[in-house]
A and B are shown apart, each in its own frame.
Chain A
Amino acid sequence: MMPELGKYAAEVLAAYGVSLLLLAGLVGLSLNKGRKARATLADIEARKDG
């Protein structure tokens, strides 16, 4: 399954590892911030209405 990367395996795997980690981190942090913002707004609106 794993392709033969030869003598540059470390470079290729490092490039993919770092990039996918950064992208996953960005998506995760964005979703987390979005969830918190929704909860904060819902809480403030509930208090305003209540």
Chain B
Amino acid sequence: MSLWEYANPVKFLGLSARVQPYVWGGAALCLIVGLGWGFFGTPDDYRQGSTVKIIYLHVPAALMAINAWFMMLVASLVWLIRRHHVSALAAKAAAPVGVTMTVIALITGAIWGQPMWGTWWAWDPRLTSFLILFLFYLGYIALWEAVEDPDTAADLTSVLCLVGSVFAVLSRYAVKFWNQGLHQGTSVPLATGGRTVSDVFFYPLLISMVGFGLLFLALVLYRTGTEIRLRRARALLARSERGA
């Protein structure tokens, strides 16, 4: 069995329908436990006070904002190289989810920053690269809507996605590249394991991160199915109009 079998829309929809109940269920469970534990069951931080509870939203949303773009990048590359329609539609389906995660990260960051940094916004490397990533998301979605031919739209948005990946990388590593600005370093560096968050905050945060990841997966599976159906509906309509 090959992964490319699922480039067939019918097989993709079949697999998607089978796994979605588990993914939606897992997402709901992890979000309720992670956010509920974080909000109701963790103490205040000795410096941040109760604003530390914003971490359970801000960090997972920021993580998914960047990872959504990387998922779109992989799907766009698959489209450009192998011309599988499902991959182009999956990238299209992921963009509104990614932009929502980016907005949540920006808003929760600003709400946290005002009392902690004394400002809603600073032209800090990470914040600025995140804002540019947000604008790339908007441009990507607008481009899909602006181009009528779906294959041309997929080509153009895939190229835009490649360009925007620079800012997705910068959003993640801006703190390390420039080593300046207000934003602190990564709280949970998964690659090195040297986290700066104590256990009492870390475990609910981890569960929230898993919950956001599963929610992203569930939404992308569902929305990709929607895009496949809309594409088939348009194709059938065009065929019947040609036949009439």
Q: Do A and B bind each other?
A: yes
Chain A positions near chain B (C-beta within 8 angstroms): 1, 3-9, 11-12, 14-16, 18-19, 22-23, 25-27, 30-31, 33-34, 37-38, 40-41, 44-45, 47-48
Name the residue in A7, A15, A26 with the highest tally of chain B Cβ atoms < 10 Å from its Cβ.
A15
Within 8 A of A (CB), among B89-138: 96-97, 100, 103-104, 107-108, 111-112, 114-115
A-B contact list, 12 entries, CB within 8 Å:
A7-B49, A12-B53, A12-B54, A18-B107, A18-B111, A19-B61, A19-B104, A25-B100, A31-B222, A34-B222, A34-B226, A34-B229
Separation in Å of the A37 CB from the closest CB of chain B? 4
Q: Which residues of A contact B192 (CB under 8 A)?
A: none
Whether the pair B107, A8 counts as a contact (CB closer than 8 A) is: no
Interface size class of B (residues with CB under 8 A): 35 or more
Separation in Å of the B84 CB from the closest CB of chain A? 20
Whether the pair B111, A15 counts as a contact (CB closer than 8 A) is: yes
| 3 pairs of A and B residues whose beta carbons are closest in the complex | A5-B50, A37-B229, A34-B226
Separation of A44 and B231 alpha carbons in the complex (Å): 12
B230 close to chain A: CB less than 8 A = yes
Q: Which residues of A contact B147 (CB under 8 A)?
A: none
Q: Which residues of A contact B236 (CB under 8 A)?
A: 41, 44-45, 48
Q: Which residues of B contact A18 (CB under 8 A)?
A: 104, 107-108, 111
Separation in Å of the A46 CB from the closest CB of chain B? 11
B46 close to chain A: CB less than 8 A = no
B44 close to chain A: CB less than 8 A = yes
Separation in Å of the A27 CB from the closest CB of chain B? 7
B176 close to chain A: CB less than 8 A = no
Identify 14 new A-B residue pairs, CB closer than 8 A, beyond the known A5-B50, A18-B108, A22-B103.
A1-B40, A3-B39, A4-B50, A6-B50, A8-B115, A9-B50, A14-B111, A15-B112, A19-B57, A22-B104, A33-B223, A37-B233, A41-B229, A41-B233
Chain B positions near chain A (C-beta within 8 angstroms): 35, 39-40, 44, 49-51, 53-54, 57-58, 61, 96-97, 100, 103-104, 107-108, 111-112, 114-115, 215, 219, 222-223, 225-226, 229-230, 232-233, 236-237, 240
Separation of A4 and B229 alpha carbons in the complex (Å): 48
Separation in Å of the B150 CB from the closest CB of chain A? 15
Nearest-neighbor residue (CB-CB) of B110 within chain A: A15
Nearest-neighbor residue (CB-CB) of A1 within chain B: B40
Whether the pair B97, A26 counts as a contact (CB closer than 8 A) is: yes
Check A12/B233 contact, CB under 8 A, given A18-B107, A30-B219.
no
- Give the contacting residue for B232; candidates A16, A31, A41; CB below 8 A: A41
